[in-house]
Amino acid sequence: MDLNLELARIIEEARPCFQCGICSSSCPVYRVTPELNPRLAIDNLIQKNTIEPSGREWACALCLMCEQRCPTGVSLAHILITMKNISAQRGGAPSSVIEAIHSLLSLGVIAQSSGLEKKRSKYNLPQLQLPDHDQIKKLLELTGAIDILESHLKMEEIE
């Protein structure tokens, strides 16, 4: 993913925003903490032409209420996802997200549960069919996820 290209793209997408604040007043996260304010996130993007590595965008719950209600059709979800993608490429993904990706890499799924078969057999459920790990690993490798994981390991070393 070309960071500059993606950044230019979301700045264009944010352009119609006239700062009405409907997104923020619809946001469940902003309702309980000032950490994430979608209106300001959009404003910052347009004003500063860049993404500050604040990590705040990770608090977005992706409920899409903001996008649903935005009167100018700004695709906030896509913008916030892209901001997180860029943040991840810079080594800024939260550790719980990194753990999930590691689990995906080694198991092909994110959820893990000890005694899974016993739990399922209590309800007479068929054995769960699991994906081929090598296929998942290969696809993650091809799409650059392993490189992004490594950039997080490097960040840890620096810190």
- DSSP helix/strand/coil, 31: helix
Instruction: For residue 52, give the nearest of 41, 38, 62, 60 by alpha carbon.
Output: 41
Tell me the CA distances in angstroms from 2 to 7, 64, 159, one per residue in order.
9, 25, 26
Residue type at 121?
A: S
Regarding 51 and contact with ligand SF4 (CB under 6 A), the answer is no
- For the record, the structure tokens of 45 come out as 């993007």
Task: Find the shortest distance in angstroms from Cβ 13 to another protein.
Answer: 14
| Candidates 13-21, 38-46, 85-93; binding stretch for another protein (CB under 8 A) | 85-93
Please identify, using beta-carbon distances, which residue of 47 and 153 lies nearer to another protein: 153
- For the record, the structure tokens of 127 come out as 């054995």
Q: How far is CA 49 from the centre of its chain?
A: 20
Q: Which residues bind another protein (CB under 8 A)?
A: 1, 28-29, 31-33, 35, 58-65, 67-68, 77, 81-82, 84-85, 88, 93-94, 96-97, 100-101, 104, 108-113, 116, 119-120, 122-126, 128-132, 135-136, 138-140, 142-145, 148
Q: Which residues bind ligand SF4 (CB under 6 A)?
A: 17-23, 26-29, 36, 38-39, 42, 60-66, 70-72, 74, 76-77, 80
